[in-house]
Structure 1
Amino acid sequence: MPAPGSAPTRLGFLTTGPFDPVDPATGLEEALRLVELGDALGLDTAWLRPDHLRHAISSPVAMLAAASQRARRIGLGTASIPVRAENPLRLAEDLATLDLLSGGRLRPGLSVGSPKRVAAVDRAVHPTTAEHEEPGRERLLRFRELLRGGRVPGADERPDGSDDEDDDEALTPTVQPTSPGLADRLAYGAATLRTAAWAGSHGFRLLASDVTERGSGGGSGFAADQRALIDAYRDALPDPAAAHVTLAVVVVPTDGATAEQRARYRADAAARAERAARADQSEGPGAASSMVRAPDLVGPSDELAAALLTDPAVQAADELAIALPAGLPAGDLARILTDVAEHLGPALGWSPATS
């Protein structure tokens, strides 16, 4: 675990790749340009947050494949792919191929998915078999086993019963291609103590966001709740040396922003806070009210760094991923990303990667 009072040694960013449904190509291109910019600025990882049935990135594998050929150094992550919508064999093939094309830079994050959306996606992906599909975490474990070279059931059985190894129709018993080490880089997106402990006990890395379980830290506020989640993960790990925590936070530095941009940043943060409050009130007990969202932080980098360096959850993380607000235009996101690398990062003690 990082030393008390320390900052994460790695700094990245996260984007949902929002787009106008009238012109989605422009929004997707803007997301790729952000990855290129992050690469040029020396940031460690570009994280894409995919979502189905929304005006945002829905195919992170396709996006990261394109990004891997335009940005040649930065790590490429997903935060996170909802496995209920995926076929484990096909996902293993896609991610192994992407990892090889990127030179081993892939950082796949996966999760069961938001409870509010799982049902809708299940009906779309499995219209007649949803109730028979394996639970998300079982599907994730099967996917990881395939990545590790586990045998594909029935792949080495020939329909005609022959044992001719030169048969052109013969199948390999394992997923192809293989990318050694990829399975060890898998992370699980968790928002509750139970799911964080599950991720740790099964040897995954951890993705934590600005949403976590209310009261899990003893009622001392969001930072304590989020720290409790990270501690639950680390405590459950069979091998503490394998721990890796990426923490996504909405932090918006204003150092290089114009007065107009600063006004937009703050208006967007206020609108997000209002939407979160409405959702909390509308869902009632046992639903959204059981979760709590961190407020966005907007301000000069020295003030933001002072707040982050005293945050117990940040102190327990290995990597900080700055989540870019989806409601701002592309020019603002590029300005924020530049300020993250040139002002906020150095204020946290971070240095840009050079190779």
Structure 2
Amino acid sequence: MKKIGFLSFGHWTPSSQSQVRSASDALRQSIDLAVAAEQLGADGAYFRVHHYACQLASPFPLLAAVGAKTSRIEIGTAVIDMRYENPLYMAEDAGAADLIAGGRLQLGISRGSPEQVIDGWRHFGYQPAEGETDADMGRRHAQVFLDILRGEGFAEPNPTPMFPNPPGLLRIEPHSEGLRERIWWGAGSNATAVWAAQLGMNLQSSTLKDDENGQPFHVQQAEQIRAYRQAWKEAGHAREPRVSVSRSIFAIVDERDRLYFGGGGEQNDQIGYIDASTRAIFGRSYAAEPDVLIKQLAGDEAIREADTLLLTIPNQLGVDYNAHLIEAILTHVAPGLGWR
């Protein structure tokens, strides 16, 4: 069995060719698609966070709304850039959203990737400490966030408060029990995957990572997952970790699919640079008839290693068509691979 969810970047554009022409459209359609995906039997509704762009950016109002409209599906992010976050304020928002959703949040966080604005986190009021990089700052924010989610008191109470305090040091409220174990780290390298395992975070590995040995993307990603699981074992955590991978997979089952994806997916991995010095490998996409997809995906080592698959979706094609894409994978592809 494998959990299957969707991952939306929530793009919008005023173009007449898009069904998502405003921020309002993107947010409302994200909620509608999560409801539809739950009805179809999907396991997760995940959303990307990008600042300064015509994409989803403020996750917690959306996660809370999805949580209020659904009852079973996991609700998550992939990922929140921790360079932009106040860990304590984020813990309040996350706790509230998780309580509204009945404990279904699966929060993916990360040190971030290149954004639309140079050092955009500075405009949010954050800057690295002396000797830190922005990536170090993101990881520091993440560690504070993880500590706060444990629910232990740390703040000295006012001796003359407006409302009576419980005894002892105070914690951030609302606290949602168990959320600490549902935090995922979006790792771009083997080293950060190992670091995430040591801290007891689940692992999210997307459609790109550092090119560390020249092997095909899915092979490198599988190696990353195995390194993560070994580090988890060595850390001695009591629970089993979870691992997700993201893929662009489109099953061609009707003429609409053939119109959009009939040319096939990218047949090969791509090499590029995510900043001036980091060589990255981008995984291929898949688009074919279900029987062909089943054969292709059976050879993807990283998908085999993961317990959760996130399907990246073309959200600007609208709710109905994206629900169709999800249903096609659940109905025509997943059973042939033993995922359902």
Query: Residue 72 of structure 1: CA displacement?
Result: 1.6
Q: Choose the corresponding residue for 2:226, options 199, 214, 231.
A: 231
Q: Which residue of 1 aligns with 2:153?
A: 151
Q: Summarize the Cα distance change of 1:148–1:296 in structure 2 as closer, same or farther, 3 Å threshold.
A: same
Decide whether aligned partners of structure 1 residues 266 and 90 sit closer, same or farther in structure 2, where only a CA change above 3 A counts: farther
Q: Do the aligned residues in 2 keep the contact of 1:84 with 1:118 (CA within 8 Å)?
A: no
Is there any run of 5+ residues in structure 1 with no aligned partner, and where? 1-7
- 1:222 paired residue number: 217
The change in CA–CA distance for 1:98 and 1:224 in structure 2 (over 3 A counts) is: same
Question: Secondary structure, in 3 states, of the residue corresponding to 1:13?
Answer: strand
Aligned partner of 2:18 in structure 1 is none
Please, what is the CA RMSD of the aligned residues?
2.7
Equivalent residue number for residue 4 of structure 1: none
TM-score of the superposition, structure 1-length normalised?
Answer: 0.83
Count of matched residue pairs: 324
In 2, Cα distance between the equivalents of 1:211 and 1:42? 27
SS of structure 2 residue aligned to 1:108: strand
Output aligned runs, 1:126-141, within 5 Å: 126=125, 130-132=127-129, 135-141=137-143
Q: Which runs of 5+ in 2 are unaligned?
A: 15-20
1:242 match: secondary structure: coil
1:263 alignment partner, one of 259, 262, 268: 259
* Residues 117/188 of structure 1: CA separation in 2 closer, same or farther (3 Å cut): farther
2:244 matches 1:246? yes
Pick the aligned partner of 1:189 from 161, 186, 191. Answer: 186
Q: Corresponding residue for 1:14? A: 7
1:297 match: 286
Deviation per CA, 1:127-166: give whole Å up to 9, x if none: xx524487111110111111111334xx3253xxxx45x6
Q: Give, as a single letter, the amino acid of the residue that structure 1 aligns with 2:304.
A: Q
**Closer/same/farther in 2, CA of residues 117 and 142 from structure 1, 3 Å limit:** farther
Tell me the percent identity.
Answer: 28
| TM-score, L = length of structure 2 | 0.86
Runs (4+) of structure 1 exceeding 6 A deviation are 281-284
Contact 1:247 1:321 in 2 (8 A): yes
Please state whether the residue corresponding to 1:77 is helix, strand or coil.
Answer: strand
Match of 2:102 in 1: 103
Is the alpha carbon distance of 1:41 and 1:282 closer, same or farther for their aligned partners in structure 2, counting shifts above 3 Å?
closer
- Inter-partner Cα distance in structure 2 for 1:261 and 1:178: 44
Is residue 2:166 matched to residue 1:173?
A: no
Q: Name the CA distance, whole Å, in 2 between partners of 1:190 and 1:35.
A: 25
CA shift for structure 1 position 322: 1.1
Cα displacement (A) at 1:31: 1.6
When structure 1 is superposed on structure 2, of 207-216 and 39-48 the one drifting more is: 207-216
What whole-Å deviation, never above 9, does each CA across 1:47-80 have from its counterpart, x for those lacking one?
1111111111111111111111212211101111
